[in-house]
Structure 1
């Protein structure tokens, strides 16, 4: 017969909650009681069940994973996949499992179901990924009592934090690098207009262009949706009439790879005719032809930070906060210019 936590408690003459606290290394238990309980556990070979731990600690050890926004980035998105892998490993070491919430609704009019589902499954916290804007479903969860951490989506709730790359610096680093290498005719392919990431990167682009006195050609400012096909179509619009830009900065590597295909189809050479810079440093950048210059986001660090920030919120060890991670410019063949000392 398999022992339960109540059996151990009865043998030790204590409550099941006390046994659970001892197993989870809680303070406030006498050394004598701890030793008595641990000796019984060791001698009987007792292994606590998940439900017993959950009942006694009031925690499920489950973290909800939500892909927010109208554009479903899916599990195989090259940027977020690396962030999630880092997050998963980190919370796994801390004893947590991940429950993925589907955003495919049977009833399309239901837009407020994340919070009820999070409460139904008793998740200890939620990780919210991406998104163009904070939809009502995300807003309700963000403003609830459930700890949440957003990656690349700003959260403002009483139990919410967020972590992101410093996206103003992302754009500033690209424009500064091109400026230092005498490139002035610069086009820009943004993500969706209502995306928080796009807004900040676009602000950074315009700010840096103005800082260095580089004229902005409105025909060279185009919008995509962070995916390859949209980058291809945006680049085709830029190339619809002359003059052509000398460089193109795309706000994601996927859009940059699409733009690369459009430039080649137009009979132009990279980087001799048009230099190209992306953003994210996904794996495909190293294998494109030419290899893509990009701005690296530290995806492993973003995942780890999100994990520790969420666990701290769950355990009540911190106040909500926002953390920005510095980007790094990765010079490869598509830019056609060498890295120089940046301005200080």
Structure 2
């Protein structure tokens, strides 16, 4: 096994600097920290975690709390996979490990808190599953540093990170209207989730700003997944007045909508233009290329890691972060014009 001196010599730094990278990463220059971490991985150097834990009274582990019910396909959604990669990368750069928690304590209100204490976790990141059930509430109120993704949480050491869902949805409607579309429908996300509710809010607000009629039959509930988008688009195609554009509150739903449109013998964007939300990897690959509202997945991970480590270090809960979104124009709305991305 490689030693701390071998690692220091390889990186051209002192053993004390290597020690700080693993014990107090926040005081080390980010470039030096990255150099040491990459070299440590390459030569198989492992810091003495037991000694570090005893010295600091920390486990240097952050838990990820998310509904792991096998009936819910959230774990496979590509947007959340990108979020997890960003979170793991950001925490690793600060000397922390990410532990995914799967709790099954018979519905106990302290189920998540028991798991956190069992593993001696320093903090947790919560991913919104559309419910604010007793185990989540108990955890947030416990004083354990908690950062929630996509929903506000209440507790003495809590904060949250989200995207500009309202502004992103408004940008999608604005883009469609500027491309000459006048009958703009939406496939909404579940309103029990903050992204679903806010993206519907942004759609309705921009429709009103542009003087476009709001038709209840042009608002169909989806579930953020392919099959839900496909079924919702089928319903829109059966409407008395067929829309000439659709804003889907998630890319998977938008891709499902593209399949339904093609199955009906219609063309995108000639007959119906489509905009999604997320900018998952398949968005650029499906024909004719999906115009979408991109979220900053790496920014999610970095902001969440910074916030939870700040609280673990004894700092006050940082204010909530609302990350900007960006419209990415592709073929499903006609492709970018001059000056557009």
Q: Aligning the two structures, in what range does the TM-score lie when normalised by the shorter sequence?
A: 0.7 to 0.9
* C-alpha distance in 2 between matches for 1:341 and 1:290: 20
Aligned pairs for 1:87-166 within 5 A: 87-103=87-103, 105=104, 107=106, 109-110=107-108, 112-166=110-164
* C-alpha distance in 1 between matches for 2:268 and 2:23: 58
Correspondence for 1:52: 51
Kept after mapping to 1: 8 A contact 2:199/2:249: yes
Correspondence for 1:188: 186
Correspondence for 1:239: 237
Q: 1:244 to 1:48 in 2, by over 3 A?
A: closer
* C-alpha distance in 2 between matches for 1:326 and 1:188: 21
For each residue in 1:66-98, what CA deviation from the matched residue of structure 2 results, as whole angstroms up to 9, or x when unmatched? Answer: 114877454432111111111111111221111
Kept after mapping to 1: 8 A contact 2:109/2:138: no
Aligned pairs for 1:253-264 within 5 A: 253-264=251-262
Aligned length: 300
Q: 1:92 to 1:217 in 2, by over 3 A?
A: same
Kept after mapping to 1: 8 A contact 2:159/2:318: yes
Kept after mapping to 1: 8 A contact 2:275/2:291: yes
Gaps of 5+ in 2: 1-18, 26-45
* C-alpha distance in 1 between matches for 2:193 and 2:300: 19
Correspondence for 2:10: none
Kept after mapping to 2: 8 A contact 1:170/1:295: yes
- What TM-score comes out, normalization by structure 2 length? 0.82
Aligned pairs for 1:186-335 within 5 A: 186-335=184-333
Pick the structure with greater CA Rg: 1
* C-alpha distance in 1 between matches for 2:62 and 2:288: 40
For each residue in 1:246-280, what CA deviation from the matched residue of structure 2 results, as whole angstroms up to 9, or x when unmatched? Answer: 10000000110111111111111111100000000
Correspondence for 1:29: none
Correspondence for 1:13: none
Gaps of 5+ in 1: 1-19, 27-46
Q: Secondary structure at the match of 1:174?
A: helix
For each residue in 1:297-326, what CA deviation from the matched residue of structure 2 results, as whole angstroms up to 9, or x when unmatched? Answer: 011111111111111111123334201011
Kept after mapping to 1: 8 A contact 2:123/2:146: yes
Q: 1:242 to 1:203 in 2, by over 3 A?
A: same
- What TM-score comes out, normalization by structure 1 length? 0.81
Q: Secondary structure at the match of 2:131?
A: coil
* C-alpha distance in 1 between matches for 2:169 and 2:68: 23
Correspondence for 2:60: 61
CA-based RMSD of the aligned residues comes to: 2.3
Tell me the CA shift for residue 56 of structure 1.
2.5
* C-alpha distance in 2 between matches for 1:24 and 1:301: 24
Q: Secondary structure at the match of 1:187?
A: strand
Correspondence for 1:81: 81
* C-alpha distance in 1 between matches for 2:68 and 2:187: 20
Q: 1:121 to 1:115 in 2, by over 3 A?
A: same
Aligned pairs for 1:20-39 within 5 A: 24=23
Q: 1:69 to 1:311 in 2, by over 3 A?
A: same
* C-alpha distance in 2 between matches for 1:229 and 1:110: 33
Higher mean C-alpha deviation, range 236-245 or range 49-58: 49-58
Q: Secondary structure at the match of 2:160?
A: strand
Kept after mapping to 1: 8 A contact 2:157/2:316: no
Tell me the CA shift for residue 295 of structure 1.
0.3
For each residue in 1:198-257, what CA deviation from the matched residue of structure 2 results, as whole angstroms up to 9, or x when unmatched? Answer: 111111111111111110111110001111101111111111233210100000001101
Q: 1:274 to 1:24 in 2, by over 3 A?
A: closer
Tell me the CA shift for residue 177 of structure 1.
1.2
* C-alpha distance in 1 between matches for 2:163 and 2:302: 13
Tell me the CA shift for residue 111 of structure 1.
5.0
